[in-house]
Each structure stands twice: as structure tokens, then as C-alpha cells.
Amino acid sequence: MNVILLEHPRSYGEDRCNDIANAPLSACLNTGYIGGMLAANNVEVTIVDGYLEKLDYPAIEAEIAKIRPTVLGIHLVYHWEDNKTLYQFIERIKATYGIAYVCVYGFYPTFAYEEILNRCPAIDAALLGETELIFLKLVEDFPTVPDAGIAKRTANGIVATRGEVVMDVDSLPFPLRSKGSYSFGEVNISGSRGCYGGCTFCYINPYYGDIKRKWRGRSPENIIAEIDAVMKETDIRYFYFMDPNFYGPGQAGKDRVLKLASLLKERHINFGIEARANDIEDETIQVLVDAGLKHILIGLESGRDEALKRLNKLTTVADNEQALQILRKHGIEPSVGFIMFEPDSTLEDLKVNYDFLKRNALLDKLEISVNVLYHHMIILQGSSSYKALQEQGRLNISKHSTYEADTDYLNPKVAMLAGMLRDMTNHIFSYMKDTWELSFKKDPVIMEKYRLINNLLVQSFEDYLNLLKNEAITVEKRNKYVSIFNATVDGIMA
């Protein structure tokens, strides 16, 4: 039996350029881990990476025509549209090349399987959640299709049943990596699965299902064995841990990080991680920096304790500020996740957030300011916020998909400022996509332009926030303010 695993091409939407990824970074090795499981069990498998290798559909079809797989698995990623082009492609190639079975997997199919199966009859099933075991069983028992871990059509309609997850993640074979995996100067690696948190906007844990142990970590020795194997294949020496939570919970989590850091240090590599603010403490950050830590993303989300409680962050403003202080003490300027505009935000929330950002030197660089001064809460199927807003009758489901939704802000003035900031920051991003590399290289001309735009953006946020406290802004005035701002940005970038 031949199996192809496809990472399909993804489109770029100008108006969605600053929306957070709708498939978490932790999904980037889904295909590789399935491939590793199949290969370890002597199944002939090929990864066709249309995304990272920038293959168009004719190039993908050529690979399918050459291999003519029995089973085609597709990591289906929702990218802010209907996926009609992909669905039409699946319909045609399945018929043309006699593919016996097409299944999809990933975050989008796990939560929106019914929509997908109704829209594309050529897709036989959606695999739910963690998929290594279910994909292997599907292939080994084919043409018999398993009942658990899958959503499929039956005489009684679409039926979905969750399957088992791998509790001992050390037992998983290392992921297969396509040449595209080495195309951007770093190697993604997974050190754990899940998160011990429960943020309302996140669907990491619901993706894995109702399991007792929310966070499952690999042993430091197992992680290092994979890194050593990768280092034999490539000269890349930068690794990015794409775990939603690099740290595990409690003292055991800290001890594991200390052990892993000692092993990483021996490899003389650099790496990046993602972590919760409450996990950042002096000892582990010091040893991680000594071991090669260069980058960290922490989800601060808000500068107000009331908002953090609404988001169920299980952290405080004090945690956020302490994390920033510790990281900077050790020479790490973090990337931060921040939700300036949440559905229940008030003008006072925005003011407190703004003061927090300013007080903690998070508005000094355009690359940071343009992200933190406008970010609304993305509401995706599977998250507790999606469910809660739906129960409250406040959920506005996208015309494209049940997977994506938004909601009206409770405060109309907050809604007005959010719309203005979205238009303003999107305009800035339209320039930054072409100048980002020059900024990274510290080009003096670009750096000066960024400085001027940053000052303009920060001051505009403060001015319009103060204005809204005292009066309502009409649609005509709103459009005029945005037009003047964008024209000023054009002038600076000219």
C-alpha cells in the first residue's frame, strides 16, 4: 500500500494578515508524526509539502500521478475562506487516479468535520484529534475502516467517535521531515503535547479530547535523541520548540526543564520556546539562556486582572510583569501575545492595557506595537469562548465556515476604536511584509521610518481613546481619521 500525506497550499488574505494563526504552531508536525508512525510500521509513505515547498496544484498532481496512492491523507487547514479550490482538486484527483480513500486531519477537521464532509463528498473521513494511532489502524486494516477516532458517513448520517491518545509520548517514532521542513533556517520540534492551562480562546486541550493528563511531556533524553538525529541530516543549528507550553506543571515541570537545558547546552545550538508567564522564573531562564535560548513567546494577553480572569488565564498582571523583568534580566526581549480587544472590553480596560504596555516598554518598537495595540480575540470552534457566546446568543458564525466566528462588542465605543485600529495596523502591515527583512537587518533608513510610524501609531491610539471617553465618533469622522493616518504612513514610507 502507498500513502501520500499532503500539506496543501494556503492562501494569504490582506485583511487577515495580523490575525493569529488559525492552526496553532503545534499542528505543524501533524503530518510528520503520522509519516513517522507509518514508516516505523513498514508502510510506504510520501510527504508532499505543498505549503513549505510552495508547490502549486499541478505540481502536487504530478506527484500523485507518479505514486498513485491507495490512501491520501490531507492536513486540512482553514485559511479564512471556503476551501473550494482544494475541494475541487480532491474531487478530480480522486477520480482521475483511482485513490481508494481520502481522509483529512488537523484542528479544522476535528471541530468542523460535519461541514467538511458535507461540502466535499470525495473526502471519506475526518480523523479526530491526535491521529498517529488512528491513521496506522486505518492503513493496516484497510479496507475496513475503524470506528473510533474518526468522523465518517453512515446510513444514519455522519457519526463521530473519539479515539485514544498516546499517553507515553516517548513511544512515538520521530516525525518524518520533508525538505521544506529545513527551508526556513530553523527546525521545529515538539517536546510536549497539550497545556495545563484553560484559556477561553484556546482549543488546544479540546483538540486532544477529554483526557485526565492535559499536558504530556517527552523525556529530555528522548528530545535530545531526535535533535541529534536531525543534526546528522542538516547543518541547521536553530531549533524551535512549538509546544503550546514548553514547561510542564509544578516542580516536576521545572526539574524536567533543568535537565533538558543541561543536555541542550552540550549540543551548542540555539533555540526558541513558548511558555506561560507564571512559569517564568529566574533559575530556569538562566540555565536555558546558558544552553542557547534566544527567543521566547509568552501569552500576556492583558494588563488588567479582571480581563485575565474573564479569559481564564490563571495568571495575574504581577505574573506578567515579573516574567518580563526576569527575561530582560537575562537578555531576552520576548515576543508577547496580547488581546487588546476582547468582546467584553470597556474603555477602562483599554486604558489600563495601554498603560501596562507603556509602563513595561512594550510600545517602543513598531514590530511589537503594531501587534499589541490591535488584536481582537479570535473565536474558533472548539474553544470555550465559542461555546459560551453561542449559548448567550452572541455568536456570529462566519459565512465561510462554522469553524470561525466573531461577536459584537458590548461597548460600541470599543467597537469603533477596534475597527479603526484594525484598518490602521493592516495598512502598516502592507508595508512591513516587504520591509521586515530590512528591519531585521537594522537598515538605518527603514529603522527611522519604523520609528516615526511607531510614534504615530502609539500617539493615535492614545488620542482616539481619550476622544472616545468624551464623545462618540461618527462613521464619517472615523473614516476621515483612518484616512489621514494611512496617508501619513504613506508619506513616511514614500
In order of their start, the domains of the chain are: 2-161 (3.40.50.280), 185-339 (3.20.20.70), 376-407 (no CATH)
pLDDT at 138: 97
Is residue 171 packed enough to be buried (19+ CB in 10 Å), middle (13-18) or exposed (0-12)? exposed
Backbone torsions φ then ψ of 482, nearest 5 degrees: -65, -40
Cα–chain center distance at 294: 20
Classify strands 238-241 and 187-189 as parallel, antiparallel or unpaired: parallel
Q: Which helix (H) or strand (E) holds 365?
A: none
Terminal-to-terminal C-alpha distance of the chain: 58
Identify which of 340, 371, 366 has the alpha carbon closest to the alpha carbon of residue 448.
366
Q: What does the DSSP 8-state code read for residue 188?
A: E
311-366: per-residue pLDDT in tens? Answer: 999 999 999 999 999 999 999 999 999 999 999 999 999 999 999 999 999 999 99
Which of 433, 432, 476 has the alpha carbon at shortest distance from 457?
Answer: 432
Q: What's residue 26's pLDDT?
A: 81
Q: What's this model's pTM, rounded to 2 decimal places?
A: 0.94
Q: Which of 217, 219, 186 is nearest to 292 (CA)?
A: 186
> In the chain, which stretches have pLDDT less than 50?
none
What is the model's pLDDT at position 83? 87
| C-alpha span between 445 and 75 (Å, rounded) | 41
pLDDT at 18: 67
The Cβ-side half-sphere exposure at 389, using a 13 Å CA radius, reads 28
Q: Cα–Cα distance between 299 and 274 in angstroms, integer?
A: 8
Instruction: Decide: 123 and 142 in contact? Cβ < 8 Å.
Output: no
Q: What is the pLDDT of residue 425?
A: 96
pLDDT for res 437: 87
| Rounded Cα gap, residues 307 and 342, in angstroms | 9
Residue appearing with cell numbers 520576548: 334
